[in-house]
Chain A
């Protein structure tokens, strides 16, 4: 799976949009971009994923650059409950009989400030 690079920490004012960047310059054509978050001492929570088109769901938006070498997760109106570590992961969608695993790095610790 392609390696990702994320800033170790970010701050965001409550009510403002939080934009979390991720670099994945070695991503392959069949690899998806996934975002998860982990609130302290809980299991990670899936947020969103995409291949090349921008995606939006009830939690967030995912913007992937045209060359697919980087992406941005957008939380449109951050709340205090969004304070968590956010993980950006890239991997193939399905590898048949092989592994189907996600490699988590250290992520970005997002602090939403009142």
Chain B
């Protein structure tokens, strides 16, 4: 079945370490997104990519980095520069044109100790 796979589902890291969250989709979607969600809050956009080898900053990109070397993959690195990295991270994708729906992965919960 087509969908978006995020891994790992849970991740614990020490303060100061970089961590990379994986996001893979087999929906043949052009556009992919990373969102962050804090408890009781809505989703905030970190980065998005419309096509391979191109990506743009969202509302809260500081302390994060991404790459888009393949259409299927959009990994997110949470760097040590991110001051409050503990959060629920969601990856999403969409066809890229037209008012279509956004498909989400199941999320990755990062806890920095």
Contacts and interface: CB of A to CB of B under 8 A. Distances in A.
Given A46-B102, A100-B96, A101-B33, A41 B109 contact: yes
Interface residues of B, number: 30
Given A44-B104, A45-B104, A87-B42, A100 B90 contact: no
B107 A43 contact: yes
Contacts of B58: 101
Contact of B99 (A32, A87, A105, A106): A32
Given A42-B107, A43-B90, A102 B99 contact: no
Nearest to A30: B99
Interface stretch (B12-20, B43-51, B62-70, B71-79): B43-51
Interface of B: 4, 31, 33, 35, 40-45, 48, 50, 56, 58, 88, 90, 92, 94, 96-99, 101-107, 109
